[in-house]
């Protein structure tokens, strides 16, 4: 039996925009923005959210907290501890140009190498091409050409009652609320051709 998804790039919509890290020193509002922290040549940490910059003495810092804490603080209107990270060690996740940067499976290890000077750009990967989805950040492509972000996959690919290949997703707020309250999230079934790993 032939593979129904062979050559899927020919029928799939254009990929969503890639995530491009930008130094927080470049300005702009930071509250609630997704950020990465780290040191060039050392490593990077992601799945963090920022608050507005603060100045102490002659240094500028960014309060940074894990996304789960940020969502809980926003949902329950509580304060959480946010370590102050020097602004030069913070990068903001920006969205790059549309239509560029769909991930292709690297043919060898050399094509996967990156510079350690900045956090790597993250190109979207079609859900069909990923090994696992559950818990990962995903983007849903909308019929009008838009993108729905701040989603997490709550299942792997499966066959729906209608016979379509799809995965279920939840908003990130509901995903994190599930952890702190035990309340199962509301989910949406998304066809595989409209779902990308962010």
Which tens digit of pLDDT belongs to each residue from 103-117? 555 567 887 788 888
Distance (Å) of CA 56 to CA 24, 39, 86, 90: 17, 21, 10, 16
Which tens digit of pLDDT belongs to each residue from 75-112? 999 999 999 999 999 999 999 987 554 555 556 788 77
| Confidence at 8, pLDDT banded by 50, 70, 90 | very low
Tell me if 174 sits within 8 A of 185, measured CB to CB.
yes
- For the record, the structure tokens of 198 come out as 């962010």
- 8-state DSSP, 112: G
């Amino acid at each position: 039996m032939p593979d129904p998804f062979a050559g899927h790039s020919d029928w799939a919509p254009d990929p969503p925009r890639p995530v491009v890290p930008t130094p927080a020193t470049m300005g702009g509002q930071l509250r609630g923005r997704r950020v990465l922290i780290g040191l060039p040549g050392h490593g990077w940490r992601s799945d963090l959210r920022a608050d507005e910059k603060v100045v102490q003495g002659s240094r500028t810092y960014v309060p940074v907290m894990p996304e789960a804490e940020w969502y809980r603080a926003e949902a329950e209107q509580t304060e959480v501890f946010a370590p102050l990270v020097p602004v030069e060690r913070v990068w903001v996740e920006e969205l790059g140009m549309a239509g560029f940067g769909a991930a292709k499976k690297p043919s060898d290890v050399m094509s996967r190498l990156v510079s350690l000077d900045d956090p790597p750009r993250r190109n979207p990967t079609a859900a069909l091409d990923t090994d696992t989805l559950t818990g990962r950040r995903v983007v849903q492509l909308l019929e009008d050409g838009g993108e729905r972000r701040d989603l997490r996959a709550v299942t792997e690919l499966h066959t729906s009652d209608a016979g379509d290949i799809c995965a279920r997703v939840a908003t990130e707020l509901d995903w994190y609320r599930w952890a702190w309250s035990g309340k199962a999230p509301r989910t949406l079934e998304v066809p595989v051709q409209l779902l990308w790993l962010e």
